[in-house]
Structure 1
Amino acid sequence: MSLKDGLRELYHFIPQFVRIGRKYHALYKKYSELQYLPYEQRLAYQLQELQHIVSYAYDHTRYYHNLFDECGVDPYNIRDFSDIRKIPLLTKDIVQNNLADMVSDMIPPKQLQYVTTGGSTGKTLGFYITADTDRRRLAFEWIHWKAMGYEMGMPCAVLRGAVVKDGWFFYNRGENQLIMSTYDMLEENMDTYLEKLVEFSPRILRGYPSALTILSNYMVKNNFNPDRLRSIQAISTSSEVLLAEQKEIIERAFNCPVYDKYGNCEQVGVIGMCRERHYHEFMEHSYLEYLKDDGTPAKDGEFGEIIGTSFINEAVPFIRYQTGDRALLDIGHHCVCGVESRIIERMEGRTGDSLITKYGNLISITALNSHNDIFDHAKRIQYYQDEKGVVILKIVPRSDYTEGDSKKIYAELSEKFKDQVELRLEFVESIPLTPRGKYKYLDQRLKL
């Protein structure tokens, strides 16, 4: 073992509570206390944060400085939430084409961390964050998790698309997590998955709704006794829309509550389910608007596209960003959980489509989302399937796309598919829009 590997191994023996540092704990304390302020005080704080990010973006980025001047927006005169409607909506294309001008001149280059979105709309997006951004993101994650009884150090099992190179499971000592492959969930393997869960005895189970539904259906079908997994006190779902029927079967199989959370890689919104099963905005994380198809604000009881303005990433400010996701606004319910915020009835727009392997099991398309640079030289991608066990990845290449990009894409996806799916790359000039004007990340022609 090299010295570097030895130090890494030693690092993971340090409790997570210690490893994440004092700055994180200060942020967590601050945001936790703000959660329980009266609604009007939270609104005042949110407006203050909105005023800050708008003026900051104008002062420290070329893109917003020029945009606000062109549109006649006074960044120092945001008196009300409605004032930002003068600012044009931000899209992935705009960020992609103007990234250099969107980077803040207040952040030293060595502090910038390049990240990419998973591309669930068919187009990946690269931008920058800082260590502070990630600390803030983690603070909101733990606010949500602690509301469901999850504390740092508790044993947690995870079914969220990680690649397990040797076998189907591995143990993350540093965070006391059992990582379980979502790519090997064949029916004949389910008993092994369940026995591994029984052996590990996690307090919390986290996963994609689609993966947890596969496991839950097997448990119910085969009369698996949930008492064998009574150590699991709560289940956390995210990254896909949680359907009502999925929530029902998961809670039935495990005999414990499901807590769902909406978020995105761009960090422009977090909406989490409380113990009373209501979705609440995390108001200190971002400011959210909900716009109907005609561009007007949605009212209670109406659907609207989520438009987010982030408060946690000053490296590349995202102001009025179109997420492509939709939410149904609640009709005036008051929640007794103690958190006063806008309540969302349900989320829509990111249902976890799946691929069918040659063995007949399903792989969530969310699990294939890539958070590195393998698609940086592709304008757009789309998975296409009309044959069991065969997937075509359609790629609209950029001018700088090379054979090396194909090799990287093929290597990463083949590692995830293993021997279950034959992957073919197909280069196309364009990918057609849906009737709603959106790109489909997966064009699935087979009946699931």
Structure 2
Amino acid sequence: MTLREMVKRLPYPVRQGVKYIYGMIPLSIRYGRVFWETYNFLQESQWWSKEKLEEYQMQQLSKLLHHAYENVPYYRRIFDERGLKPKDIQDFSDLRKLPYLTKDTFKARAKELLARNFDPGKLPTSHTSGTTGKPLQFFEDPFTSQKEWAFICHQWSRVGYKPGDFRVELRGPVNSDKPVYYDPASKVLRLSPLIDTKEKAIYYLTKIQNTGAKFLHGYPGAIASFAYAIKGYRLTVPLKLRAVLFASEAIYDWERELVQEVFNCRVFSHYGMAEKVVLAAECEHSHQYHCIPQYGITEIDRDTHEIIGTGFLNYANPFIRYRTTDIASMPISSRCEKCGRNYFPVFAKVEGRLEDFIITPEGTLIAPAIITHPFKDLKTVKDTQIVQKDLDLVVVRAVPWAGKDSQALQAELRQLCQDLQIILGKSVQVKWEIVEEIERTTSGKFKWIVSEVSRDSLEKGIKEI
């Protein structure tokens, strides 16, 4: 068990005390050597030439492939079956000699994908959000989180954010008992991302104003819902934000426009994932996503525009040519002339749809990332899907694991529906339905949220504000 996991298990008052003490440690020490080395490197290398960045990428790729070949049984088999050695991957085109890694393959081969030179008992774990219906769990090496945070701070620096700056977050699990939580160690005021009443919207505005925070960070859907409530209730916005920082979801044009209008500041977004294979962010002068080459190698499938990533940060569970299942809109291989960085590829956005939201009878929009939290620790259920039958009816389709106790299954589904009820509100009825399998779309893709509500009803709330 890691130190962070031990702290998480402490009682709340003790945990807060530990965080306050930790927050008193100077930032230069608290963030760690690896963070600062990575951050300073990124601030300098962002202006490197394309040739120098590509040379760096190939060095990192060679290092990763040699490690995977020597220490990861799955990749050793992949190389041997193809008669390849790491030295045979001489350029980016050679990478196509290796197969894609999918989520299903990772789950089926999880033990083979763990590097033998790491002790899993001493490694931090991570998982995907579960918006594909079944969260993927994996290990990270001890310094992955420090490196990742350095990359995030690097991209946020384009809108004036500096490591250690105070920020307000609308993200994480919905918490009705503690809708406001201050984390002194991170200098973050966390707000439960569900804003379902005028009183809560006013309360949040007051809290943010009192902090003097210049940065609002969170799920695009949650912040858009906040802006939607502010505009709908005709509230005054007494904030002087420098930027709104979107994260963790696909972004819709109407979300960006609404948030920018209500908060009157730059909306800055980035694209990333828990698996840490691709990181892309806007620059100072455009809303195009610039893939950060120091983070990994990003491929865009020529036919489907699916984003494929090979991450440089995690050696415990390497992801090589990982299929993200996300689709890049209008990708180009040339650099952004507006900022001059040789970050590539560049794409307009990650595709997403309004139908991925749940909309309540009151017109509250609830984003997928908010709904994922009750699903993360299911023990008796293998796959799930949420179907909105009507504005006031949501059905959870559940595929149980074979051999699981029926009473345990029923109890877990009851708890799941109760947790969803808290998120969706009393006006929405939540039921469950046990099924043998969940149908895929005609293209073979899985859709976690299915809306049977007419598009007119979905768009009505947005048009009326």
Question: TM-score, structure 1 length as denominator?
Answer: 0.89
Shift of the 377–63 alpha-carbon distance from structure 1 to 2, 3 Å rule, reads farther
**Per-residue deviation, 1:310:** 0.9
Shift of the 94–152 alpha-carbon distance from structure 1 to 2, 3 Å rule, reads same
Query: Which structure 2 residues correspond to residues 397-412 of structure 1 after superposition, within 5 A?
Result: 397-399=400-402, 401-402=404-405, 403-404=407-408, 407=411, 410-411=414-415
CA contact (8 A) 1:133 1:313 kept: yes
Does 1:152 pair with 2:146?
no
Query: Which structure 2 residues correspond to residues 2-21 of structure 1 after superposition, within 5 A?
Result: 4-5=14-15, 7-15=17-25, 17=27, 18-21=29-32
Query: Which structure 2 residues correspond to residues 8-407 of structure 1 after superposition, within 5 A?
Result: 8-15=18-25, 17=27, 18-187=29-198, 189-221=200-232, 224-226=235-237, 228-230=238-240, 232-277=241-286, 278-293=288-303, 304-327=305-328, 328-330=330-332, 332=334, 334-351=336-353, 353-357=356-360, 359-370=362-373, 374-375=377-378, 378-399=381-402, 401-402=404-405, 403-404=407-408, 407=411
Show CA shifts across 1:40-80 (max 9, x none). 10111011111221221111111111112112333222111
Shift of the 222–109 alpha-carbon distance from structure 1 to 2, 3 Å rule, reads closer
Q: Distance in 1 between matches of 2:417 and 2:51?
A: 48
Shift of the 125–409 alpha-carbon distance from structure 1 to 2, 3 Å rule, reads farther
Does 1:414 pair with 2:418?
yes
CA contact (8 A) 2:38 2:151 kept: no
Q: For residue 96 of structure 2, give the secondary structure of its aligned residue in structure 1.
A: helix
Q: For residue 192 of structure 1, give the secondary structure of its aligned residue in structure 2.
A: helix
CA contact (8 A) 2:278 2:311 kept: yes
Range 420-429 or range 434-443, more displaced: 420-429
Give, as a single letter, the amino acid of the residue that structure 1 aligns with 2:181.
Answer: F
CA contact (8 A) 2:194 2:222 kept: no
Q: For residue 36 of structure 1, give the secondary structure of its aligned residue in structure 2.
A: coil
CA contact (8 A) 1:358 1:390 kept: no
Q: Distance in 1 between matches of 2:310 and 2:45?
A: 19
**Per-residue deviation, 1:163:** 2.9
Q: Distance in 2 between matches of 1:2 and 1:220?
A: 35
CA contact (8 A) 2:290 2:347 kept: no
Does 1:437 pair with 2:448?
no
Over 6 Å off, 4+ runs: none
Q: Distance in 2 between matches of 1:371 and 1:96?
A: 21
Q: For residue 385 of structure 1, give the secondary structure of its aligned residue in structure 2.
A: strand
Give, as a single letter, the amino acid of the residue that structure 1 aligns with 2:299.
Answer: E
Query: Aligned residues, how many?
Result: 437
CA contact (8 A) 2:413 2:432 kept: no
Show CA shifts across 1:114-165 (max 9, x none). 3221122222211111221111111111111222211233321111143334
Which runs of 5 or more residues in structure 2 are unaligned? 1-10, 459-465
Q: Distance in 1 between matches of 2:183 and 2:16?
A: 16
- Equivalent pairs: percent with the same residue? 28
Which runs of 5 or more residues in structure 1 are unaligned? 294-302
CA contact (8 A) 1:241 1:348 kept: yes
CA contact (8 A) 2:335 2:343 kept: no
Q: Distance in 2 between matches of 1:397 and 1:132?
A: 36
Give, as a single letter, the amino acid of the residue that structure 2 aligns with 1:414.
Answer: Q
Q: Distance in 2 between matches of 1:413 and 1:24?
A: 40
Shift of the 375–2 alpha-carbon distance from structure 1 to 2, 3 Å rule, reads closer
